[in-house]
């Protein structure tokens, strides 16, 4: 049952109780005894009110921890039981009642409300949810009453094996079910009722219900007799067959594709959820708010526009759903492996990805920092290239503390180069670097295609004259983003106020020893963003990069930018469109540029306009979409 | 001249002495079929056979056998080669190390002639046998209410020892295995492709096959090499017409 917010707050603490019931419900809780003594006197009027609706015998029978603790049943209900979601009688479900009449409880407890007002108003007392006919035929008999069903359910539900409604196939299976066989075959079920175990768990686990019956197979006894007969007829023609113990055939195991193991079941569920032909699949590692994830989603959007949303899918291979989901269109097909195989390790995720692609056979598959898909693509015999055209997106290297390049571009790229027909790279600088580092032959270089992150085009925002000289810095608190430069720069600019919007990383702001003119703002929240309009300039420091999204966002918001000349940044930021700092470790260069931005407003205005112009030329959606289209059509890609 | 009802195609490679059992089981099934009034052609496609297998074939004289030399190095291509040369209205495949139940051919023809749809037929049950281990593999009938066609996307339902009208095999040739390139399971791929073409897989009631599990087999090699099922169109066939709304989790 899904609880409303009010229902949820009322039922606080229930989950812990439920867990304890699952294990050993009979352990008395001594603390209850002590508390009850205190509560009894105070609650006498309440006891009187509730007593007519409280079934003590039922309560003690069902909740045997209460019985064994020797506690007064009604007191237990008042003090703990109701809060824990226990039922005072088979007919009254306090969870259902609290949710159903949440708006009228007015601070009263469910049974109290029912006794005082609800009964007179004809309120319902339980959600029911029974398919009585099904329940009777599966667990009881056709002559049982609805009340018998409820009673049976309440008495046995603690085993978590009962269903109130279900598959008609169970009705047929019950006729075949052999309790003795089941118990003998699966002694680990202990004292549980064999049939209830089968309905609640055994069928899902593919357990056998009788020696001579296999679900969906037919008459196993007849089949065994048939095989015996035929094997007998073949006597003398094959010695190995002759050596078979024909009399033991009845005990042999059976295999059938009716029941799937967890990975196959997950795959079938995923395929059913996709449920349509797929032209393009974008595989991304996670669905967070990083630049790569945004790039993947932009790619997904462009492909959806080209092929239609029904025929495009975003596959999240390594992580969970995240805040990046908000960037997706409402009708986007998003498949998250963790939804199907939450505990899968990296090998299982790679296998799931590989098999899914081989079955769905999208015309094209794009890898955007998907660990699972890279793992598949680097194996020469993965055969994945036989099922789809593979493309991979790259941005920049990462670097070790010693300065050695690492990451997909450094390690997986050369291994998978043959298999992947196009690489989409968000900056030309990195294309040139890869060509140089791997000596890529001239006739292969066209497979490396620049595809710059698109930016929504809008009018250049007007900016009021700023008098407070405020600058903001935004980035992950990690070695890559050079956060240690902030304090050094701020010390050189005492008349400028610096505001830090950081994304948490492995460096703490406290460890930076920042001067007084640096203000730490709350951690960057993509839902809130940065109030660009409050600032004179954006300071971006970085040791390596592609073209960072935050820089494009700042440029799009029309704010002057001072940034490090690293990676692909200089393709958008130069001394015409902003202030590019060539020596990324020199705080004086940054400080000089910031002084110029803050105190020469005319030049700042000119450069931000030039930046906006460049943005529209290089990072337009039209350009992004046209390149994606060309890649999809595999035309000769012009640089 | 009486027309041939069935061509039994035995695919042989390096089975050696084991092939004798297969030939004898085929002989028994042929004898039973002929007693039932059927005319059966027996063909062995000997694909790059070793000398011993060739000798076994040469010496076998229980029934007339049409011997076809193959140079395919592949079971799928060998089956296709056999199909081209088959004269029967129906074709029944068997690999050179497996055994048919004696009633297989007779019952399969009877079932196929009763059925108005174009179907592919399989035995009801298989006994997999090795020296110290046996188990049953039950075949599913697509007409059964329990049959879940989408499971075929992730697991194979039927062995390669199928029976169908010759036209079915002519129109739907097997796809060559390319184990070294990571592609295989020609029978699984074929089962998927035929369903995608609208054909129905059914079981012949009360029939069985005996499938030998060897230390080395194509299936085992495929599993060890972690190959994928060769391309087929089943997924698109199942989902092309469904206007499903994607269920967000």
Q: Is A610 exposed, middle or buried (0-12, 13-18, 19+ CB in 10 A)?
A: middle
Q: In whole numbers, what is the pLDDT of chain A averaged over residues?
A: 84
CB A402 within 8 A of CB A408: no
Q: What is the pLDDT of residue A43?
A: 55
Closest Cβ opposite residue B153 in set A215, A268, A387 = A268
Q: Could you tell me the two tokens for A138? A: 């599966």
In our burial notation (b when 16+ CB lie closer than 10 A, e otherwise), range A475-502 reads bbbebbbbbbbbbbbbebbeebbbbbbb
For helices A549-556 and A601-618, the axis angle rounded to 10 degrees is: 120
Lowest mean pLDDT, pick from A321-325, A396-400, A427-431: A321-325
Question: In what helix (H) or strand (E) does residue A37 lie, and over which residues does it extend?
Answer: helix A30-42
Q: Could you tell me the two tokens for A396? A: 């920049």
CB A619 within 8 A of CB A453: yes
**Overall number of domains in chain A:** 5
Closest Cβ opposite residue A230 in set B20, B102, B131 = B102
Question: In what helix (H) or strand (E) does residue A624 lie, and over which residues does it extend?
Answer: helix A621-633
Closest residue of chain B to A254, computed from CA coordinates: B136
A44 and A169 part of one domain: no
Q: Which residues contact A62 (CB under 8 A, 6 or more apart)?
A: A86, A87, A154, A155, A158
Instruction: Answer whether B142 touches A (CB < 8 Å).
Output: no
Does residue A634 lie within any of the structural domains? Answer: no
CB A545 within 8 A of CB A481: no
A63 and A103 part of one domain: yes
Does residue A456 lie within any of the structural domains? Answer: no
Residue A337: name the closest of A292, A285, A388 by CA: A285
Taking the CA of residue B79 and the nearest CA in chain A, the distance in Å comes to 23
pLDDT at A415 over 60: yes
A27 and A50 part of one domain: yes
Does residue A282 lie within any of the structural domains? Answer: yes
pLDDT in tens, B202-223: 999 999 999 998 776 767 777 7
Which of B:195-224 have CB within 8 Å of A?
A: 206-208, 210, 212
Three-state secondary-structure class, residue A368: strand
Three-state secondary-structure class, residue A285: coil
> How does DSSP classify residue A261?
-
pLDDT in tens, B103-151: 999 999 999 999 999 999 999 999 999 887 888 898 999 998 778 899 9
Closest Cβ opposite residue B239 in set A226, A241, A275 = A275
Q: Determine, for residues B152 and A215 on separate chains, whether the beta-carbon distance falls below 8 Å.
A: no
Confidence of residue A639 (pLDDT cuts 50, 70, 90): very low
pLDDT in tens, B142-176: 998 778 899 999 999 999 999 999 999 999 999 99
Q: What is the DSSP string of A518-564?
A: EEEPSPP-TTT---GGG-SEEEE--SS-SS-HHHHHHHHTT--EEEE
Q: What is the pLDDT of residue A123?
A: 76
The rounded distance, in Å, linking the Cα atoms of A256 and A254 is 7
Residue A604: name the closest of A466, A455, A456 by CA: A466
CB A287 within 8 A of CB A322: yes
> How does DSSP classify residue A366?
E
- β-strand partners of A476: A503
Q: What is the pLDDT of residue A29?
A: 35
Instruction: Answer whether B153 touches A (CB < 8 Å).
Output: yes
A38 and A152 part of one domain: no
A191 and A209 part of one domain: yes
pLDDT at A141 over 90: no
pLDDT at A27 over 60: no
Q: Determine, for residues A277 and B236 on separate chains, whether the beta-carbon distance falls below 8 Å.
A: yes
Does residue A379 lie within any of the structural domains? Answer: yes
The rounded distance, in Å, linking the Cα atoms of B247 and B249 is 6
Q: Determine, for residues B208 and A230 on separate chains, whether the beta-carbon distance falls below 8 Å.
A: yes
Q: Could you tell me the two tokens for A394? A: 């790259």
Which of B:23-82 have CB within 8 Å of A?
A: 24-25, 28
Write down the H helix ranges in A459-504: 484-492
Does residue B245 lie within any of the structural domains? Answer: no
pLDDT at A19 over 80: no
The rounded distance, in Å, linking the Cα atoms of A244 and B134 is 9
Q: Determine, for residues A230 and B138 on separate chains, whether the beta-carbon distance falls below 8 Å.
A: no
**Overall number of domains in chain B:** 1
Does residue B125 lie within any of the structural domains? Answer: yes
The rounded distance, in Å, linking the Cα atoms of A51 and A18 is 25
A403 and A492 part of one domain: no
A42 and A191 part of one domain: no
Does residue A628 lie within any of the structural domains? Answer: no
Q: What is the pLDDT of residue A201?
A: 81
More confident residue, A32 or A221: A221
Q: Determine, for residues B210 and A273 on separate chains, whether the beta-carbon distance falls below 8 Å.
A: no
**What is the CA A213 to chain-centroid distance, rounded?**
40
Q: What is the pLDDT of residue A297?
A: 95
pLDDT at A124 over 80: no
Average pLDDT of the residues in A401-423:
93
Q: What is the pLDDT of residue B242?
A: 54
CB A231 within 8 A of CB A239: no
- β-strand partners of A140: none
Rounded alpha-carbon distances, angstroms, from residue A50 to A53, A112, A475: 6, 7, 60
Three-state secondary-structure class, residue A186: coil
Closest Cβ opposite residue A358 in set B24, B103, B229 = B229
Three-state secondary-structure class, residue B29: helix
Q: What is the pLDDT of residue A366?
A: 98
pLDDT at B229 over 80: yes
Token pair 């003690």 is found at A60
Where in the sequence is the domain holding A104, given as residue range(s)? Answer: 5-121
pLDDT at B245 over 50: no
Give the best residue of B28, B208, B219 to mutate against chain A (max A CB count within 10 A): B208
> How does DSSP classify residue B17?
T
Does residue A457 lie within any of the structural domains? Answer: no
Three-state secondary-structure class, residue B202: strand
pLDDT at A128 over 90: no
Name chain B contacts of A358, Cβ cutoff 8 Å: 228-229
Residue A560: name the closest of A513, A609, A516 by CA: A609
Average pLDDT of the residues in A561-582:
94
Q: Determine, for residues B244 and A255 on separate chains, whether the beta-carbon distance falls below 8 Å.
A: no
> Which residues in A105-247 belong to E strands, given as ranges?
213-214, 218-219
pLDDT in tens, A598-638: 888 788 889 999 999 999 999 999 999 999 999 998 755 54
Confidence of residue B83 (pLDDT cuts 50, 70, 90): very high
Residue B226: name the closest of B193, B179, B191 by CA: B179
The rounded distance, in Å, linking the Cα atoms of A165 and A135 is 6
Does residue B82 lie within any of the structural domains? Answer: yes
Q: Determine, for residues A275 and B249 on separate chains, whether the beta-carbon distance falls below 8 Å.
A: no
What are the phi and psi torsion angles at B79 (to 5°)?
-65, -45
Q: What is the pLDDT of residue A87?
A: 87
Average pLDDT of the residues in A163-176:
80
Q: What is the pLDDT of residue B98?
A: 96
CB B25 within 8 A of CB B127: no
Does residue B244 lie within any of the structural domains? Answer: no
A77 and A157 part of one domain: no
The rounded distance, in Å, linking the Cα atoms of A412 and B163 is 47
Name chain A contacts of B240, Cβ cutoff 8 Å: 276-277
Q: Could you tell me the two tokens for B246? A: 């994607």
CB atoms within 10 A of CB A147: 11
Instruction: Answer whether B242 touches A (CB < 8 Å).
Output: yes
Closest Cβ opposite residue A268 in set B154, B182, B225 = B154
Terminal Cα distance for chain B, rounded = 65
Name chain B contacts of A271, Cβ cutoff 8 Å: 150, 153, 235, 239
A152 and A107 part of one domain: no
The rounded distance, in Å, linking the Cα atoms of A124 and A109 is 15
The residue count for chain B: 249
Instruction: Answer whether B228 touches A (CB < 8 Å).
Output: yes
Q: Which of A65, A98, A121 is the last residue of a domain?
A: A121
Name chain A contacts of B247, Cβ cutoff 8 Å: 273
pLDDT in tens, A334-355: 999 999 998 899 999 999 999 9
Confidence of residue A216 (pLDDT cuts 50, 70, 90): low
Q: What angle do CA A409, A412, A414 make, to 5 degrees?
A: 80
Closest Cβ opposite residue B137 in set A218, A255, A334 = A255
CATH at residue A364: 3.40.50.2000
The rounded distance, in Å, linking the Cα atoms of A308 and A306 is 6
Q: What is the pLDDT of residue A509?
A: 87
Taking the CA of residue A332 and the nearest CA in chain B, the distance in Å comes to 8
Q: What is the pLDDT of residue A40?
A: 45
Q: What is the DSSP string of A560-608?
A: -EEEE--GGGGGT-STTTSEEESSTT-HHHHHHHHHHHHH-HHHHHHHH
Taking the CA of residue A582 and the nearest CA in chain B, the distance in Å comes to 47
Taking the CA of residue B101 and the nearest CA in chain A, the distance in Å comes to 6
CB A319 within 8 A of CB A286: yes
Where in the sequence is the domain holding B66, given as residue range(s)? Answer: 6-239
CB A579 within 8 A of CB A608: no
CB B225 within 8 A of CB B179: yes
Residue A231: name the closest of B36, B63, B100, B121 by CA: B100
pLDDT at A12 over 50: no
Does residue A455 lie within any of the structural domains? Answer: no
Terminal Cα distance for chain A, rounded = 58
Q: Determine, for residues B25 and A234 on separate chains, whether the beta-carbon distance falls below 8 Å.
A: yes
pLDDT in tens, A230-282: 998 999 998 888 888 877 777 777 777 776 778 898 999 999 999 899 999 99
Q: What is the pLDDT of residue A1?
A: 26
Return the top range by mean pLDDT from A208-212, A524-528, B96-100, B240-244.
B96-100
Residue A577: name the closest of A603, A600, A540 by CA: A603
Token pair 């239609």 is found at A308
Does residue A258 lie within any of the structural domains? Answer: no
CATH at residue B143: 3.90.550.10
Q: What is the pLDDT of residue A458?
A: 75
Percent of chain A with pLDDT over 70: 90
More confident residue, A22 or A45: A45
More confident residue, B36 or A524: B36
């Amino acid at each position: 049952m899904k609880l409303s917010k009010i229902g949820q707050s009322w039922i606080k603490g229930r989950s812990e109780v439920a867990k304890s019931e699952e294990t050993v419900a009979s352990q008395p809780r001594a603390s209850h005894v002590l508390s009850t003594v205190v509560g009894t006197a105070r609650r006498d009027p309440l006891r009187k009110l509730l007593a007519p609706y409280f079934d003590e015998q039922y309560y003690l029978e069902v909740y045997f921890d209460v019985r064994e603790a020797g506690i007064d049943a009604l007191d237990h209900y008042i003090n703990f039981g109701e809060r824990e979601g226990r039922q005072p009688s088979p007919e009254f479900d306090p969870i259902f009642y609290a949710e159903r009449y949440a708006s009228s409880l007015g601070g009263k407890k469910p049974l109290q409300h029912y006794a005082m007002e609800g009964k007179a108003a004809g309120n319902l007392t339980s959600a029911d949810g029974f398919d009585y006919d099904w329940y009777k035929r599966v667990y009881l008999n056709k002559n049982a009453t609805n009340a018998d069903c409820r009673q049976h359910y309440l008495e046995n539900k603690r085993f978590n094996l009962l269903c109130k409604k279900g598959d008609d196939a169970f009705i047929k299976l019950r006729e075949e079910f052999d309790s003795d066989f089941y118990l003998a075959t699966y002694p680990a079920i202990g004292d549980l009722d064999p049939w209830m175990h089968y309905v609640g768990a055994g069928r899902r686990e593919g357990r056998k219900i009788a020696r001579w019956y296999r679900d969906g197979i037919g008459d196993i006894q007849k089949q065994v007799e048939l095989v015996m007969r035929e094997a007998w007829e073949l006597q003398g023609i094959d010695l190995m067959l002759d050596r078979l113990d024909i009399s033991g055939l009845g005990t042999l195991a059976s295999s059938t594709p009716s029941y799937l193991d967890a990975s196959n079941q997950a795959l079938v569920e995923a395929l059913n959820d996709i449920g349509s032909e797929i032209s393009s699949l974008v595989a991304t590692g996670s669905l967070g708010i990083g630049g790569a994830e945004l790039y993947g989603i932009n790619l997904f959007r462009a492909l959806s526009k080209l092929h239609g949303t029904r025929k495009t899918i975003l596959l999240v291979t390594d992580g969970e759903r995240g805040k990046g989901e908000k960037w997706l269109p409402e009708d986007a097909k998003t498949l998250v492996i963790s939804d199907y195989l939450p505990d899968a390790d990296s090998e299982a995720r790679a296998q799931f990805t590989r098999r899914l692609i081989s079955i769905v056979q999208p015309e094209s598959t794009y890898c955007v920092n998907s660990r699972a898909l890279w793992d598949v693509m680097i194996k020469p015999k993965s055969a994945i290239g036989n099922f789809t055209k593979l493309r991979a997106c790259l941005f920049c290297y990462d670097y070790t503390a010693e300065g050695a390049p690492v990451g997909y571009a450094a390690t997986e790229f050369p291994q998978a180069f043959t298999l992947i027909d196009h690489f989409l790279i968000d900056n030309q600088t990195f294309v040139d670097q890869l060509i140089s580092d791997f000596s890529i032959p001239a006739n292969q270089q066209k497979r490396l295609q620049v595809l710059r992150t698109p930016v929504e085009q809008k009018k250049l925002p007007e900016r009021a004259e700023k008098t407070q000289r405020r600058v903001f810095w935004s980035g992950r608190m990690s070695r890559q983003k050079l956060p240690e430069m902030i304090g050094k720069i701020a010390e050189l600019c005492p008349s400028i106020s610096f505001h830090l919007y950081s994304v948490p990383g492995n460096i703490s702001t406290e460890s930076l020893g920042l001067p007084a003119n640096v203000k730490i703002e709350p951690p960057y929240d993509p839902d809130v963003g940065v109030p660009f309009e409050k600032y004179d300039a954006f300071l971006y420091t970085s040791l390596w990069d592609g073209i960072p999204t935050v820089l494009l966002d700042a440029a799009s918001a029309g704010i002057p930018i001072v940034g490090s000349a690293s990676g692909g940044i200089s393709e958008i930021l130069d001394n015409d469109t902003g202030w590019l700092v060539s020596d990324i470790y020199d705080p004086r260069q940054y400080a000089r540029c910031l002084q110029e931005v803050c105190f020469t407003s005319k030049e700042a205005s000119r450069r931000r306009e030039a930046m906006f112009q460049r943005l529209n030329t290089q990072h337009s959606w039209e350009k992004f979409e046209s390149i994606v289209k060309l890649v999809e059509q595999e035309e000769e890609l012009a640089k | 001249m009486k027309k041939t009802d069935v061509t039994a195609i035995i695919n042989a490679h390096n089975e050696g002495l084991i092939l004798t059992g297969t030939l004898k089981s085929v002989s028994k099934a042929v004898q039973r079929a002929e007693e039932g009034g059927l005319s059966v052609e027996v063909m062995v496609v000997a694909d790059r056979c070793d000398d011993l297998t060739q000798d076994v074939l040469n010496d076998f004289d229980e029934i007339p056998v049409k011997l076809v030399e193959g140079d395919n190095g592949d079971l799928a291509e060998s089956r296709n080669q056999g199909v081209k040369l088959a004269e029967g209205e129906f074709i029944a495949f068997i690999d050179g190390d497996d055994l048919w139940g004696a009633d297989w051919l007779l019952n399969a023809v009877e079932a196929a002639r009763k059925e108005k749809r174009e179907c592919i037929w399989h035995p009801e049950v298989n006994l997999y046998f090795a020296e110290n281990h046996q188990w049953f593999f039950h075949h599913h009938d697509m007409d059964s209410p329990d049959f879940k066609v989408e499971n075929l996307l992730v697991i194979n339902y039927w062995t390669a020892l199928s029976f169908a009208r010759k036209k079915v095999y002519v129109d739907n040739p097997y796809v060559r295995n390319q184990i070294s390139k990571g592609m295989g399971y020609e029978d699984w791929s074929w089962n998927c492709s035929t369903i995608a073409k609208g054909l129905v897989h059914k079981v012949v009631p009360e029939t069985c096959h005996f499938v030998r599990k060897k230390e080395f087999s194509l299936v085992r090699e495929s599993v060890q090499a972690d190959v994928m099922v060769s391309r087929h169109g089943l997924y698109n066939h199942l989902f092309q017409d469904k206007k499903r709304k994607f269920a967000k989790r």
